[in-house]
Amino acid sequence: MMNSPPNKPYNVMVYLDRTCWNEKSNKLDEYSIQLISQARMLADGKNGVVSCLHFGVFSKEFTTECACVGADRLVSVVWQKANTANHEIPIGQICAKLKTILPDIVIFPTTPEAKEIAARMAVQFQTGLTADCTELSYDAEGFLLQTRPAFGGNLMASIICKKHLPQMASIRKNTFFKTSFHKGKTCSHLSIDLSPGSSNRIIRLESESYETFSLQNAKIIIGIGMGIQKPENIGFLERLAKKMGGVLGATRSVVEAGWLGPEYQIGQTGQSVAPDLYVACGISGSAQHVMGMQRSKRIIAINRDPHAPIFHVSDYGIIGDAVETIQGLLDSEDNLQ
């Protein structure tokens, strides 16, 4: 159990991992902007400060950008490695140093590495950690209310951590959009140097990059569910997507069946999307899928079952076979492939 010393400003810390800086555009990536903005909103609610935690050095551009989005302080943690390939992060030492600052809140992205770091830090602080939140706010008593989907997305659970600090949570991408820009804002810098690490328990070997397929920017998505009957039918939906200038998306069942790769998955454990148009083909509408596409501006659903839950969340519904309906749309084309 830890208590914040009095007269210390409320400190909302954001962990920024390796993926936070977009090398190509030389800017903070969209997700990091969302996280810092979220922290800014929380800090403002308590007349507090926003700190950004990063393992490594902040460049001048990085510093300016973080300040511009609302950061008051940057905390960089550096340590020498006996071998550059040593990958193990000295979380014990890092937390020991952070205990002297003791943030009130720490928020994390939901990348695999950040979630791993968050979990290890939760043990070192012996505090609570809530994963994959879609909303953060304060409850009536001023504790961080961490809201996340539960039971496959059928329910929303709100969690608090009352007696331990820091209150920690990881936040999903594309759930917080209220960014604010503070032109000309500066921020202070705190550098934490750790003693050289000799751990060689995890060695980083040569990595490869792969093409990330993101549905995030698609304006039109044709969603595929098990109702299309067989993977061979994907071709028709692909043609429709192409004709409409859209892309394909998939439910968890379709991905688990191996019909499409996990990069197409939309839902609680897949991507969250917000296209202008989402056409749900043969999708029943399970809560965990709906929570990934409910922010679509318009939803059209095609399903043989008139009682399919998807129709409760659609603007337009067609009761019928999805593949036949799509074939009908394609056949009306003047130029067929």
Partner 1 sequence: MKILVFIKQVPDSSKVQLDPIHHTLRRDRCNPIINPYDLNALEYALSIKDCDPSVQVGVLCMGPITAEREMRLCLAMGADECILLNDSKFAGSDTLASSFILASAVRSLGSIPEVLVFGKQSIDGDTGQVGPEVAEWLDLPVVTCCDKVSTDQQAKALYVERKNEGITEKFKLVLPCVISVTSKLNIPRFPTLQERMLSFHKKIRILGNKELKIGEEMIGLEGSPTWVRKVEPVNFQKKCAFITSQDLKNILKTEGLLK
Q: Contacts with partner 1 in 141-180 (CB under 8 A)?
A: 145-146, 149-164
Rg (CA), the chain: 23
Contacts of residue 66, Cβ cutoff 8 Å, sequence gap at least 6:
16, 28, 36, 52, 58, 74, 187
Count of residues in the chain:
337
Within 10 Å of residue 288's Cβ, how many Cβ atoms?
Answer: 18
Residues in 78-117 that interact with partner 1 by CB under 8 A: 87-88, 91, 111-113, 115-116
Distance CA 102, CA 1 (A): 12
In the complex, minimum distance from the CB of residue 195 to partner 1, in angstroms, rounded to a whole number = 17
Q: Shortest Cβ distance from residue 118 to partner 1 (Å)?
A: 8
Nearer to partner 1 by Cβ, of 76 and 146: the residue is 146
Interaction of residue 242 with partner 1, rule CB under 8 A: no
Kindly identify the residues of this chain, within the stretch 201-240, that bind partner 1 according to CB under 8 A.
201-212, 220
Nearest distance from C-beta of residue 156 to partner 1, angstroms: 5
Does residue 77 contact residue 57 with C-beta atoms inside 8 Å? no
Rounded CA-CA distance 256/275 in Å is: 24
For partner 1, the closer of residues 3 and 7 by Cβ is: 3
Residue from 38, 51, 130, 303 in contact with partner 1 (CB under 8 A): 130
Give the x/- contact pattern for partner 1 in 247-266, rule: CB under 8 A.
-----xx--x-----x----
Tokens 């998306």 appear where?
A: 249
Q: State the nearest-atom distance from the C-beta of 140 to partner 1, in Å.
A: 10
Shortest CB 209 distance to partner 1, Å: 5
CB of 73 to partner 1, least distance (A): 25
Nearer to partner 1 among residue 7 and residue 140 (C-beta): 140
List the interface residues with partner 1, window 21-80 (CB under 8 A). Answer: none
3-state secondary structure 309-330: HHHHHCCEEEECCHHHHHHHHH
Site for partner 1 in 177-196 (CB under 8 A): none
Shortest distance (Å) from residue 111 CB to partner 1: 6
Selected range binding partner 1 among 32-40, 42-50, 70-78, 131-139, rule: CB under 8 A:
131-139
Binding mask 265-284 for partner 1 (x = CB under 8 A): ---xx-------x-------
Kindly indicate which of the ranges 54-62, 64-72, 75-83, 123-131 contains the residues binding partner 1, using the contact rule CB under 8 A.
123-131
CA distances from 11 to 188, 208, 312, 314, 334 (A): 14, 37, 42, 41, 62
Peptide bond into 149 cis (omega under 30): no
Eight-class DSSP state of 20: G
- Window of 5-13, 187-195, 227-235, 292-300 that interacts with partner 1 by CB under 8 A: 292-300
CB of 46 to partner 1, least distance (A): 19
What whole-number distance in Å separates Cα of residue 206 and Cα of residue 39? 35
> Phi and psi at residue 250, in whole multiples of 5°?
-145, 155
Residue 57 is classified by DSSP as P
Q: Which is nearer to partner 1, 70 or 128 (CB)?
A: 128
* 254 contact partners, CB below 8 Å, separation of at least 6: 224, 225, 226, 260, 264, 265
Closest CA to 80 of 194, 175, 161: 194
Q: How far is the CB of 181 from partner 1 (least distance, A)?
A: 25
Residue with tokens 């977009």: 22
